[in-house]
Structure 1
Amino acid sequence: MTTRRVVITGMGVVAPGGTGTKEFWEFVTSGRTATRLISSFDASAFRSRVVAEADFDPVSHGFGPQEIRRMDRAALFAVACAREALADSGLDAVEPDRTGVTIGTAVGCTMGLEQEYRVVSDDGRLWQVDHTYAPRHLYGHFTPSSIAAEVARAVGAEGPAAVVSAGCTSGLDSVGHAVDLIREGSADVMIAGATDAPISPITLACFDAIKATTPRNDDPEHASRPFDRTRNGFVLAEGAAVFVLEEAGRARRRGAQVYAEIAGFAARCNAFHMTGLRPDGREMAAAITAALDEARIAPGDVGYVNAHGSGTKQNDRHETAAIKASLGGHAHRTPVSSIKSMIGHSLGAIGSIEIAASALALDRGVLPPTANLREPDPECDLDYIPLTAREKKTDVVVTIGSGFGGFQSAMVLTAPGRRAA
């Protein structure tokens, strides 16, 4: 049986430092950083006050007052990205029953829920909240599936629709699920990606409690330091990326621009610890190996690894070990970088944003740098592309993600035409 192949023909991005795909790419290849002290509320009581906020104005993206009132910030991100991706793909219209939606998110409509809880509880004064102050759309904030529903309505998709929530690998897993739906014939086109807008007091408190985020409040621009000896935690961020995925033959027949083929995907769980990682990285290595096997690509053909690179000591060492285990001797010859050094960690959204960076690296022949990498950790001894982007044409990219709960995911993207049709 011939396997249906899946390609990316459109993308839309909202990220710190760059709203829109063009601006995003220019930013993540510049080596500049979007990490700053939080501006949206008073965070003086928190241990970590460094975040990466997206410069996003919903009005300028065509949203009316009712949409802005109804949708959480994460949903607004997702719809804006879906609209950009659809326009970028050149699709004038979709076939409703052959088009589906999958959206990844780690924390759903956190901002809307927190804001409305403050209202119905009179800023926490009432133990028994007053429901009469709740807006009619509050249930939509409570159910993350509302995000996929908003995207489906925006693009006119009537096929399979789902939200994938697997923590920080959600952005990879949602796209992987969409690929499977196209391969099995359930859809010809999928609008797939991920979104998160988690910058709120409750989220800061959660990560403060486990000391996962950096306390480098005195130097926020250089706070995210993946693979650097001086790193001390990740920077919380927000953002989204959404893609138009198509069956390859369909895209070819309509003469679509193709950024990349999604040739392989795999996910594993370490079943080990809620936040801890085994130092040997064997589950991530297993995911990378399985994704390469599905793509029928040898480890020695990988030209770039877009790392999870969160900037926590255990993740960076775990990931380094996983790359060595899966790529063998080729690992030391393979460029690696983390865009979280520039745009922070947007939880469930970041996996899709990193897919966008990976596809653009294939398309443009430029590999993003790892900002702030000035004092390499001796235990992280791969080629992490420090400080400055590198011009390098490659036709195989691996992008990987790791999440609390032990989730490990890997995706292989290849340049258009690398594999015979």
Structure 2
Amino acid sequence: MSRDVVITGLSVLAPGSTDTEGFWKMITAGRSAIRRITAFDPAAFRSQVAGEIDLDPAALGFTRREARRLDRAGLLAVACARRAVREAGIASGTDLDPGRLGVSVGNAVGSATSIENEYVVLSDEGRQWLVDQKYQSPHLFDYFVPGSLARETAWAVGAEGPVAVVSAGCTSGIDALGHACRLIQEGSADVVVAGATDAPVTPIAVACFDAIKATSRRNDDPEGAPRPFDRTRDGFALAEGAAMLVLEDGEHARRRGADVYGAITGYAAHSNAYHMTGLTRDGTEMARAITTALDEARIDPTAVRYVNAHGSGTRQNDLHETEAFKKALGAHAYDVPVSSIKSMVGHSLGAIGAIEVAACALAIRHGVVPPTANLHEPDPECDLDYVPLEARERDIDTVLTVGSGFGGFQSAMVLRKWRGGRA
């Protein structure tokens, strides 16, 4: 079994685009997809902007029955999984034993859209304290069980190997991919369809982030709302989205002549056991995750050619990350370009880590560093090269991507160019 885990297919559904190509064009153009919320009337909320997807189930190949049964997060996950598997040329039951095909799905808030909608109906718009079960959907149980997202994905791709949901808040996407890597490295699967999905643009989710003032209130300028590392930043823009990647044992991919985006060579996850929403200023916990991931990848920090930041745009996160990069990368932190795509597609909670890994794989393939949009007035305390406004062409053979989540979760992953042998 090869040490290397390679990416042989990927698919992204994010705000502002309906496919991976559109997503890549948008983020490399530095164009923001954040807008005033349309899913419901946001007038009563402090933050009224979000990254929404113009989701058309029929255009994505879903039947009306599927569209009614699946929650929005499920639709995004299944659509991405189908596309990624098709791109990778993987079909269980033909050249691939379905028992050697696994699924790993990251998710933070479950089927949030359907759960809230069902409550509104069952409680008669909140007027009834005791809900009337006569009006409930027959699929309500599935909405309460996050494992249903992995099950639906497994059914969609014909996976009969290991199937799991990883839920670790905002690092769920990276962590689901990390779990998939371990399955391949330990020999439990040859191929794993892995990624994450979340659809949290609902009144209750917006209210939760309003309460802790984590989201931007730049309601008069939605596209300019998320501004990571900028002196005027005031929080992130909530978003929905999904990304699924086909991860494959390197030797397995070579034997079948697969087209490879790159290899995942290092992964680590740590926790700070510190605070539910707070972060230490010195960035020690994220730095620890980065160092562990680099050690697993067996590379020196100076080999990193691009860093995809968590870059949420909250004041404490951006300072925490800046210090973490300095701690983990040393003087090289000042030389390597760093950027945040959340400035363009928002923060889709558990899904964003997988979306960012997909962006890193595309950056390696195309030799382009996506910019940080809306970075007009750099915070003097965020004094690294955060690639403001415009993308850069650059030969990229090694990428570091990081994630930070409420509860103290800190994750890091290393991707490297694939040359048919060792990464």
- TM norm. shorter chain > 0.5: yes
Displacement after TM superposition at 1:123 (Å) = 1.1
Query: 1:231 maps to what in 2?
Result: 233
Q: How does 1:149-160 map to 2 (within 5 A)?
A: 149-160=151-162
Displacement after TM superposition at 1:63 (Å) = 0.4
Query: 1:272 maps to what in 2?
Result: 274
Aligned-partner SS, 1:218:
coil
Checking the alignment, whether the CA contact within 8 Å between 2:304 and 2:398 is kept in structure 1 is yes
Q: How many residues align?
A: 420
Checking the alignment, whether the CA contact within 8 Å between 2:4 and 2:422 is kept in structure 1 is no
Displacement after TM superposition at 1:92 (Å) = 3.6
1:75 aligns with 2:77: no
Aligned-partner SS, 1:107:
coil
Query: 1:397 maps to what in 2?
Result: 399
Structure 2: tracts of 5 or more residues without a match? none
The alignment yields a C-alpha RMSD, in angstroms, of 1.0
User: Matches of 2:325 and 2:374 in 1, distance apart?
Assistant: 21
Checking the alignment, whether the CA contact within 8 Å between 2:2 and 2:249 is kept in structure 1 is no
Q: How does 1:164-175 map to 2 (within 5 A)?
A: 164-175=166-177
Q: Which amino acid aligns with 1:127?
A: W
Query: 2:18 maps to what in 1?
Result: 19
Checking the alignment, whether the CA contact within 8 Å between 1:191 and 1:243 is kept in structure 2 is yes
User: Matches of 2:195 and 2:176 in 1, distance apart?
Assistant: 6
Quote the sequence identity (%): 64
Q: How does 1:309-324 map to 2 (within 5 A)?
A: 309-324=311-326
User: Matches of 1:84 and 1:56 in 2, distance apart?
Assistant: 15
Displacement after TM superposition at 1:151 (Å) = 0.4
Query: 1:358 maps to what in 2?
Result: 360
Checking the alignment, whether the CA contact within 8 Å between 1:395 and 1:418 is kept in structure 2 is no
**TM-score (normalizing by structure 1):** 0.98
Checking the alignment, whether the CA contact within 8 Å between 1:228 and 1:376 is kept in structure 2 is yes
Q: Which amino acid aligns with 2:245?
A: F
Q: How does 1:32-51 map to 2 (within 5 A)?
A: 32-51=31-50
User: Matches of 1:212 and 1:419 in 2, distance apart?
Assistant: 44
Query: 1:342 maps to what in 2?
Result: 344
Displacement after TM superposition at 1:385 (Å) = 0.5
Displacement after TM superposition at 1:261 (Å) = 0.2
User: Matches of 2:42 and 2:17 in 1, distance apart?
Assistant: 24
User: Matches of 1:418 and 1:176 in 2, distance apart?
Assistant: 22
Displacement after TM superposition at 1:4 (Å) = 3.1
User: Matches of 1:394 and 1:56 in 2, distance apart?
Assistant: 33
Q: How does 1:293-304 map to 2 (within 5 A)?
A: 293-304=295-306
Checking the alignment, whether the CA contact within 8 Å between 2:227 and 2:373 is kept in structure 1 is yes
User: Matches of 2:301 and 2:308 in 1, distance apart?
Assistant: 15
Query: 1:201 maps to what in 2?
Result: 203
Q: How does 1:19-418 map to 2 (within 5 A)?
A: 19-93=18-92, 94-417=96-419
Displacement after TM superposition at 1:55 (Å) = 2.0
Checking the alignment, whether the CA contact within 8 Å between 1:260 and 1:359 is kept in structure 2 is yes
Checking the alignment, whether the CA contact within 8 Å between 1:332 and 1:382 is kept in structure 2 is yes
Q: Which amino acid aligns with 2:24?
A: W
Checking the alignment, whether the CA contact within 8 Å between 2:102 and 2:193 is kept in structure 1 is yes
Displacement after TM superposition at 1:221 (Å) = 1.1
Structure 1: tracts of 5 or more residues without a match? none
Q: Which amino acid aligns with 1:18?
A: S
User: Matches of 2:97 and 2:56 in 1, distance apart?
Assistant: 30
**TM-score (normalizing by structure 2):** 0.98
Query: 1:5 maps to what in 2?
Result: 4
